[in-house]
């Protein structure tokens, strides 16, 4: 039947399916796999998926197991200061293997686990790349180290070569691996500035941005007004930046511990409370109108939350085969 259908119609039908269904369809036949792996379909699926970004929640339960949920962004309303949306459950992830969340990029997530071997004289580190929408995951080659440090791992995506990369870094050690290139091999890279990374970072147009420090500075925030500080790069060559400071309006859901998780296409800054029990609140701050809207996320199965990661621009990704071959 598919042989008699126009190719454009076939691509249109498949492009409307969720990523998990597309991944299943890849296993039906060689013909379907060929269609779904074609460059035309990849570009069409990416366009459709990117046009409807969602909130993605990676939630760590009390016993360190991870679960993934997704929900639409709430419809903006100037008349309402609070909203309620329902999250869809994606999957439970490797409940028997407690892994540390590292980074997110273009629909995929990176987790890391370490374990001592050889009578605790060596340490091996395993990175796992996971697709929350399809449930696919793959392991990267182990890293063998003879020291225990304050490590950080980053997942990034190069839009030019369409490749995912993982960087593993300590204060003076950096290694990188490129996914989807056949032989997976860690290689050393050099950084002229010894530093310690502090967060998961963000990858924009193939460039990885993250904060770090070269020394130790402690700040006492007791009694400070809750503020947002934003630096805008005005001139790349001169490295000229402008600073904007915003005082958050009072809100019953805003405590002293909130984190910025991203920005929407409407220019709203998205925040989330660092510590949450059972109920999850997401906050949308509009710098132009100085308004703050809270969103209650329902559908999280009423389990205790140990940690939560939120991403504002999640778009479904799929792969017909290895998760490293995801469409992006």
Q: Give a yes or no: residue 219 inside a domain.
A: no
pLDDT surpassing 50 at residue 223: no
Give residue 145's pLDDT: 78
The string of pLDDT tens digits covering residues 126-178 is: 888 888 877 778 889 988 877 666 788 889 888 888 888 999 887 677 899 99
Nearest partner of 17 among 37, 36, 40, 39, judged by Cα: 36
The string of pLDDT tens digits covering residues 237-269 is: 888 889 988 887 776 666 557 788 888 878 888
Q: How confident is the model at residue 212 (pLDDT cuts 50, 70, 90)?
A: confident
Q: Do 134 and 262 lie in a common domain?
A: yes
- In this structure, the chain runs to a length of 328
Q: Do 247 and 129 lie in a common domain?
A: yes
Q: How confident is the model at residue 61 (pLDDT cuts 50, 70, 90)?
A: confident
Q: Do 174 and 321 lie in a common domain?
A: yes
The string of pLDDT tens digits covering residues 290-316 is: 888 888 887 766 666 777 888 887 877
Q: Do 92 and 198 lie in a common domain?
A: yes
Q: What distance in Å separates the CA atoms of residue 25 and residue 21, rounded to the nearest whole number?
A: 6
The string of pLDDT tens digits covering residues 69-117 is: 888 777 666 666 677 776 776 666 655 455 778 788 888 888 888 776 6
Give residue 260's pLDDT: 85
Q: Give a yes or no: residue 21 inside a domain.
A: yes
Alpha helices per DSSP H over the chain: 7-15, 19-25, 30-36, 39-50
pLDDT surpassing 60 at residue 221: no
Residue 117 has, within 13 A of its CA and on its CB side, a CA count of 12
pLDDT surpassing 60 at residue 231: yes
Segment 170-187 shows an average pLDDT of 82
The structure's pTM equals 0.73
Q: How confident is the model at residue 222 (pLDDT cuts 50, 70, 90)?
A: very low
Q: Do 114 and 258 lie in a common domain?
A: yes
Q: Do 281 and 182 lie in a common domain?
A: yes
Q: Return all residues near 77 (Cβ < 8 A) that are at least 6 apart.
A: 83
pLDDT surpassing 80 at residue 56: yes
Range of the domain at 8: 2-47
**Helices 7-15 + 39-50 axis angle, to 10:** 40
Percent of the chain with pLDDT over 90: 2
């Amino acid at each position: 039947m598919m042989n008699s259908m126009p190719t454009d119609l076939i691509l249109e039908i498949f492009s409307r399916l969720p990523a998990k269904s597309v991944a299943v369809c890849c296993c039906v036949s060689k013909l379907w796999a060929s269609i779904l792996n074609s460059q035309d379909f990849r570009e069409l699926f990416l366009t459709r998926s990117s046009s409807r970004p969602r909130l993605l929640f990676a939630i760590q339960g009390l016993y360190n197991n991870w679960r993934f949920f997704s929900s639409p962004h709430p419809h903006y309303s100037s008349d309402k200061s609070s909203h309620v949306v329902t999250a869809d459950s994606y999957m439970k992830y490797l409940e028997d293997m407690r892994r540390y969340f590292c980074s997110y990029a273009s629909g995929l997530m990176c987790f890391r686990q370490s374990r001592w071997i050889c009578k605790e004289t060596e340490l091996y580190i395993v990175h796992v790349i996971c697709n929350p929408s399809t449930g696919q995951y793959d392991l990267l080659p182990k890293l063998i180290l003879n020291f225990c440090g304050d490590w950080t791992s980053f997942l990034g995506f190069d839009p030019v070569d369409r490749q995912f990369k993982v960087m593993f870094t300590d204060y003076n050690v950096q290694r990188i691996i490129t996914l989807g290139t056949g032989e997976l091999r860690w290689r050393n890279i050099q950084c002229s500035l010894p530093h310690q990374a502090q967060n998961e970072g963000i990858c924009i147009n193939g460039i990885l941005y993250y904060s770090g420090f070269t020394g130790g500075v402690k700040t006492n925030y007791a009694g400070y007004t809750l503020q947002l500080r934003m630096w805008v790069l005005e001139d790349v060559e001169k490295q000229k930046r402008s600073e904007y400071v915003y005082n958050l309006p009072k809100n019953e859901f805003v405590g002293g511990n909130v984190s910025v998780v991203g920005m929407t296409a409407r220019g709203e800054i998205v925040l989330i409370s660092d510590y949450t029990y059972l109920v999850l609140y997401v906050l949308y701050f509009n710098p132009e109108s100085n308004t703050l809207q809270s969103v209650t996320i329902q559908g999280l199965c009423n389990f205790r939350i140990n940690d939560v990661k939120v991403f504002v621009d999640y778009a479904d990704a799929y792969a017909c085969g290895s998760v490293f071959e995801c469409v992006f």
